[in-house]
Amino acid sequence: MYRALATANEFVSRGWRVTVLTADRRTFEVLTGSDPESEQAIDPSITVVRVPFDLSRGETDLRRWSWLRAQSPLAWSGLQIVKERISFPERRYGSWRAALVAEALRIHRTDAVDLVIGTANPNVDFLPGWVLSTKHEVPYVMDYRDTWHLDMYKGTRTAGRMSRSGRWERRLLKRAVEVWFVNEPIKRWHDEEYPFIRERSHVVSNGYDPSFLDGMTFASTEPRRAPSIAFVGTVYGPMPLEAALQGWVEARATNAVIASATLDFYGRLGHFATPDLEAKSLIERFAEHGVTFCGKVSKTEVHSIYSRSEALALILGKSRFITSGKVFEYMATGLPIAALHHPSTASGAVLAGYPRAAHAASDTSEAFAAVFQRIGTMIATADDSSRTAAASWAQQFERSRQLAPRIEALRLSVERKR
Amino acid sequence: MSPRWRRLLFLSAHSQSIDALVDEGITLDDGSTAFCWETPRPSTMLQLGAQEIVDLALLQRSTAESLIDLVGLSAANRALSQSSPGRLAASFGPAHRSRRFHARLVRSPRWQPRARDLIVALDLDATRAAWFESRRVDGVEAVLGLQAALERTS
C-alpha cells in the first residue's frame, strides 16, 4: 500500500493531477485489514475513486449466503472460481475487471488521461491501462510491487507461458511504455522471460517515506526499562519465525542485554483480516522468554515504536528475490538491525553497507542466536553518533529519490506525444 | 457480550474447531453452548465446561448413518440408488457431512434456539445447519467463524 501511496503523492508533488482507482473501504476492512489513519497521508488534491468489489467470498454473515452456498460451500466456491476466471485469470480478483475498466473509461471520457500507472498485485490492476491504451492510445506503466508468474521462493514460473494468465501477461507487457520492478533480481528474471521488455524495464526500488518517521526520537534507555527489540510488519508463512524465536531464547542464555530485553511484534499475523492463528500460537509459546505480540499499529504511529526501541528484527523467508519494503524504513531509523534471514535473501545486499546490521550466516536458530548476541553488544555500546551516522547513510533510500527519475522520464515522454 | 445477544450457540463439525474457543479464551459460562460433531478433546471439555458442550456424536444414529458406517459411503450410495432409483447419488455427495450434522443437531433435545441467539458456525461443515436454523427461528442470526462472532458481539 505504501508504495502506491507514495507513487501517487510523488506524481502530485511533480505537478501532475492524479486520480486513484481503488476498492471501497469495506473491502479492505473485510479482506485484508485496513489502516484508516493512513488515508490522512494521501495528498488532498488526489481524487480517490472507489470501485465496488465483490466481497461475497469473505462473507461471514450467513444471512447473506444463498441457498446454494449453504447447501455446499465447496460447490459454490468452485462456481465462484469459474466466474472469476472467465473475466480475468486471477483468483479472487478477476471478477473486478469489468467494474475497474468501466470506471477507467468513464474517467477518461470526463477528463482525458495522459498516463496510467497500474500497480499489482492484484494483476487485474494492469487492465485499465491496457484498455485505455488499446482504445485511446494512452500510455501505461506496469508497476510490479509483487510478481505475477515468478514464484519468489522457488524461482520458478507459477503458470505456463501458454496458460491463459501467461498469455495475458505477455499481452500487457507488449504495450506497456515502462515496466517497474522493486529490485534487480526480479527485473533480471523478467528480462530473461520477456526479452522484448529489456529496454523498457527499470528498477524502481522501494524506499522509506520520511513523513512516517516524523516525531521519532531516540530511545531513552532508562536504567529500569527493559531494552526492546521490535519487529514491525506482517508475519506470514515462509518467514523463519520459529528459528528466530529459538535463536532469541538461545541468545538470552549467553548475553546479558538480550536476557533483559523483550522481543515485541507489532503488526499483523497473516495478510488477511483474520489473524493467522498458527503464528499467534507460536509467538505466545515464547511469552515466558519476553516475546510479545503487541497487535496492529497504524503506519502513522510507527515512529513511536521506533522511538522506544533499541533495535529492530528483520525476519524474512529465504529468497534471492525478496528485499522487502520495511528494510528501508528500518535503516532510516539508524537503529541496529538483526537480519534474521538466509544470507542469499536479496535484502542482504541492501543491508550490506548499513553500519549497524548484524547478518546471519544461515537461517538456523544457532545463526540467529549469534545475530541477537551481536545486537546485544550494539545496544550496550550505542551512542547518538552511531545512530545519526547510520540514519544518514540510509538517506539514499528515501522513496522520492527512487521515483523521481522515472516520473521525469514519463513527463518528457507524455509532453513529446502531445 | 453486547446486550443485543442472549447467548452464543457454537456449531462445530470438527473437534479442532472447538479447540479454537479455548485458544481464544472463550468461556461458555453465560448460557452459551457448543454443539460438536466430533467428540472434543478431554482438555477442551474441561476448559469449556463439559456440561455446556453437546456431543452430537453420542446421539443415537439414524438408520442411514448406521448403514454408511457399516458398509462405507459408496456402498451405501449404491444400495440406496438400487432401492430408490429416483434418489440422487448426490444425497451422499460433498454436502453429505454438513447434512448429517444438521440432522443430528435438530435431533438434540438441547438444541432450542430462540430470539437473540447468535449461531456461530466454527467450520464450513457447520454452515448449512447454521444457515437453515437462522431462517427457521425468528430473531436468530448466524455467522461463520469465531472472528466474525467476536466482532458481532463486542
pLDDT digits (tens, 9 = 90+) for A378-418: 999 998 899 999 999 999 999 999 999 999 999 999 999 87
pLDDT tens figures, B61-90 = 666 565 555 555 555 455 544 544 443 333
Residue B43: what residue type? S
Residues near A330 by Cβ (< 8 Å), separated by ≥ 6? Answer: A232, A312, A314, A337
Do the Cβ atoms of B131 and A62 come within 8 Å?
Answer: yes
User: What is the number of residues in chain A?
Assistant: 418
Q: Please name the residues between 122 and 141 in chain B that touch chain A, using a CB distance below 8 Å.
A: 124, 127-128, 130-132, 134, 141
The residue written with cell numbers 541477537 in the block is A372
Three-state secondary structure of chain A: CHHHHHHHHHHHHCCCCCEEEEECHHHHHHHHCCCHHHHHHCCCCCEEEEECCCCHHHCCEHHHCCHHHHHCHHHHHHHHHHHHHHHCCCCCCHHHHHHHHHHHHHHHHHCCCCCEEEEECCHHHHHHHHHHHHHHCCCEEEEECCCCCECCCCCCECCCCCCHHHHHHHHHHHHCCEEEECCHHHHHHHHHHCHHHCCCEEECCCCECHHHHCCCCCCCCCCCCCCEEEEEEEECCCCCHHHHHHHHHHHHCCCHHHHCCEEEEEEEECCCCCCCHHHHHHHHHCHHHCEEEEECCCHHHHHHHHHCCCEEEEECCCCCCCCCCHHHHHHHHCCCEEEECCCCCCHHHHHCCCCCEEECCCCCHHHHHHHHHHHHHHHHCCCHHHHHHHHHHHHHHEHHHHHHHHHHHHHHHHHHHC
Is the four-CA dihedral A318, A322, A323, A329 of positive or negative sign? Answer: negative
pLDDT computed for residue B39 by the predictor: 80
The residue written with cell numbers 506503466 in the block is A141
The residue written with cell numbers 530473461 in the block is A192
Please give the helix or strand (H or E) that residue B144 lies within, else none. strand B141-144
How sure is the predictor about B93, in pLDDT bands with cuts at 50, 70 and 90? very low
pLDDT computed for residue B89 by the predictor: 35
- Could you tell me which of A265, A308, A298 has the C-alpha nearest to residue A284? A265
Q: How far is CA B115 from the centre of its chain?
A: 18
Say whether pLDDT at B30 is over 60. Answer: yes
Largest interatomic CA distance in chain B = 53
- Report the first-to-last Cα separation within chain A, whole angstroms: 32
Q: Which residue of A has its CA nearest to B20?
A: A277
d(CA A33, CA B66): 45
Q: Which of the 8 DSSP states describes residue B26?
A: -
Task: Calculate mean pLDDT across residues B28-47.
Answer: 84
d(CA A354, CA B47): 50
User: From the DSSP assignment, how many helices (H) and strands (E) are in chain B?
Assistant: 7, 5
pLDDT computed for residue B92 by the predictor: 41
Q: How many CB atoms lie within 10 A of CB A334?
A: 24
The residue written with cell numbers 515522454 in the block is A413
Please give the helix or strand (H or E) that residue B109 lies within, else none. none
Interface probe with B: pick from A62, A79, A280, A285, most Cβ of B within 10 Å: A62
How sure is the predictor about B40, in pLDDT bands with cuts at 50, 70 and 90? confident
Task: Calculate mean pLDDT across residues B126-141.
Answer: 95
Q: Which of the 8 DSSP states describes residue B29?
A: T
pLDDT computed for residue A22 by the predictor: 95
- pLDDT tens string, chain A, 418 residues long: the values are 889 999 999 999 999 999 999 999 888 877 776 777 888 899 999 999 999 998 888 889 999 999 999 988 888 988 888 888 889 999 889 999 999 999 999 999 999 999 999 999 999 999 999 999 999 999 999 999 999 999 999 999 999 999 999 999 999 999 999 999 999 999 999 999 999 999 999 999 999 999 999 888 876 555 557 999 999 999 887 899 999 999 999 999 999 999 999 999 999 888 766 677 788 889 999 999 999 999 888 888 999 999 999 999 999 999 999 999 999 999 999 999 999 999 999 999 999 999 999 999 999 999 999 999 999 999 999 988 999 999 999 999 999 999 999 999 999 999 998 7
Q: Please name the residues between 75 and 94 in chain B that touch chain A, using a CB distance below 8 Å.
A: 93-94
* ipTM for the whole complex: 0.80
- Could you tell me which of A408, A417, A394, A386 has the C-alpha nearest to residue A326? A394
Where is average pLDDT lowest: B3-12, B66-75, B133-142? B66-75
B15 vs A402 pLDDT, higher one: A402
Q: Which residue of B has its CA nearest to A77?
A: B124
- Report the first-to-last Cα separation within chain B, whole angstroms: 6
Q: Which residue of A has its CA nearest to B144?
A: A60
Interface probe with A: pick from B21, B128, B153, most Cβ of A within 10 Å: B128
How sure is the predictor about B14, in pLDDT bands with cuts at 50, 70 and 90? confident
Integer CA distances (angstroms), A199 to A194, A204, A238, A351, B16, in order:
11, 14, 33, 28, 54
* Cell numbers describing residue A104: 477507467
Instruction: State chain B's mean pLDDT as an integer.
Output: 78
Q: Which residue of B has its CA nearest to A57?
A: B144
pLDDT computed for residue A300 by the predictor: 86
Residues from chain B contacting residue A74 (CB–CB below 8 Å) = 94-95, 124
Do the Cβ atoms of A61 and B134 come within 8 Å?
Answer: no
* Any B CB within 8 A of A416 CB: no
d(CA B13, CA B9): 13
Residues from chain B contacting residue A279 (CB–CB below 8 Å) = none
Do the Cβ atoms of A72 and B94 come within 8 Å?
Answer: yes
pLDDT computed for residue B140 by the predictor: 95
d(CA A165, CA A158): 10
Task: Calculate mean pLDDT across residues B13-33.
Answer: 82
Q: Do the Cβ atoms of A416 and A378 come closer than 8 Å? A: no
Give the gap in angstroms from C-alpha A272 to the nearest C-alpha of chain B.
12
pLDDT tens figures, B52-62 = 888 877 666 66
